[in-house]
Amino acid sequence: MECCGARLFIIAPRFYNNVPLSTSPKLIMKLRNLDLDLLRTFCKIIDTGGFTAASDHLHITQSTVSVHMARLEEFVGYRLIDRQRGAVILTEHGEVLLSYARRILAINDETIFRMSDFEIKGMLRLGVVEYLAPHRVPAILSRLRATFPKLDLRLKIDLSGSLLRELEEGKLDVVIAARSEANQGGVNLLEEQLFWAAHHDFRLEADKPLPLALLPPPCFYREAAISALNSIGRSWVGAVTTMNVGGVQAAVSAGLAVGVLSQSSLLPNIRRMGETEGFPALPKFNIALFTGQGDVSLDVKPIVEFIMAEISNLSV
């Protein structure tokens, strides 16, 4: 190009990962690659709740798990996990890395499945707890079918007790359900807080039993509500019994009763009730993934790992 008899040269900068090479050489020099094996160990420690359980799931020694964590912390330059009295607690930097690690591993694993000649074929009978289904299952199933297009998926949505019973009877292959004192197995997926829920215009009558919207037994929500009220001597009555969380939401939204819901199940016209209104504290509960011991027509391990990663991604 010429301008006023002079030549004007326009030099387009070179880019690497959308970063101009000519303007940020120091940044380019600092780019490094995270080790996927270290990230997988880190995620497995959190998913299983400890180093020993992680070593069992990864089929490596506990000392190797410790070495992986030490290498990962050295690489990122921060402590990621605090071990207090046997419990595994994420540090602030650990929480940040965990969300990225899950996404990195999910993309890696999905890529491997799609690019390999190996295809998972066969039938999988999957049970999903009812109160997880409305807001998480559609997205998970969509990605599951895209990743495993030849998988014959049979889905059942029900309460935890019923699903775990069918898993034990060999009628289901994989179950995502609430972990309770009676069922301490499985691999933890996520944790949610329970809340007392009432319509915005609902008014309590102290001289009358508290009307409750309840799910049928056995149910963790039901047991938590009754146990908490009994602990403070508060009388109650089962005003509404429904087979699903949608029924509890409907009863609460209509002002018919007070219900117990998780944070993710609260609707705009429902308010949380707490100790200031005279309600006792409710516990947190864990959603876990359980696998059966019977004959299955396909290798469920890749599918289980995929589902675990997807739910974990949606929970962060």
Query: For position 184, what pLDDT does the model report?
Result: 63
Arithmetic mean of pLDDT, 90-111: 87
Write the DSSP assignment of 80-138 as a string of letters.
Answer: -EEEETTEEEE-HHHHHHHHHHHHHHHHHHHHHHHHSS----EEEEEEEETTTHHHHHH
Q: What 8-state DSSP symbol labels residue 12?
A: P
- Which of the four pLDDT bands, split at 50, 70 and 90, describes residue 295? very low
Write out the E strands in the chain: 2-3, 6-7, 15-16, 19-20, 81-84, 87-90, 122-129, 151-158, 174-179, 187-199, 210-214, 236-241, 258-262, 270-273, 284-291
120 neighbors 148 (Cβ within 8 angstroms)? yes
Arithmetic mean of pLDDT, 75-91: 84
Query: For position 218, what pLDDT does the model report?
Result: 76
- Which of the four pLDDT bands, split at 50, 70 and 90, describes residue 20? very low
Q: Is a pLDDT exceeding 60 seen at residue 71?
A: yes
- Reported as type and span, the H/E element at residue 314 is helix 301-315
- The type of residue at 262 is S
Sole residue written with tokens 């609460």: 252
Q: Is a pLDDT exceeding 60 seen at residue 302?
A: yes
**What's the pTM value of the predicted model, to 2 decimals?**
0.59
Query: For position 117, what pLDDT does the model report?
Result: 54
By residue count, the chain amounts to 316
- 3-class SS at 231? helix
CB neighbours of residue 184 within 10 Å: 9
Query: For position 280, what pLDDT does the model report?
Result: 93
Query: For position 8, what pLDDT does the model report?
Result: 42
- Which of the four pLDDT bands, split at 50, 70 and 90, describes residue 9? very low
CA 154 – CA 173 distance, rounded (Å) = 10
Domains of the chain, earliest start first: 36-114 (1.10.10.10), 121-190+287-299+309-315 (3.40.190.10), 192-285 (3.40.190.10)
Which tokens is 242 given?
């429904």
102: exposed, middle or buried (Cβ count in 10 Å: 0-12, 13-18, 19+) = buried
Arithmetic mean of pLDDT, 198-205: 87
Least confident range from 112-126, 144-158, 241-255: namely: 112-126
152 vs 21, more confident: 152
- The type of residue at 248 is V
Q: What is the pLDDT of residues 23-60, one digit of tens each?
A: 444 444 467 899 999 999 999 888 777 888 888 878 89
Q: What is the pLDDT of residues 253-291, one digit of tens each?
A: 999 999 999 877 778 888 888 888 889 999 888 888 888
Q: What is the pLDDT of residues 160-200, one digit of tens each?
A: 888 888 998 989 988 988 876 655 677 777 777 899 999 98
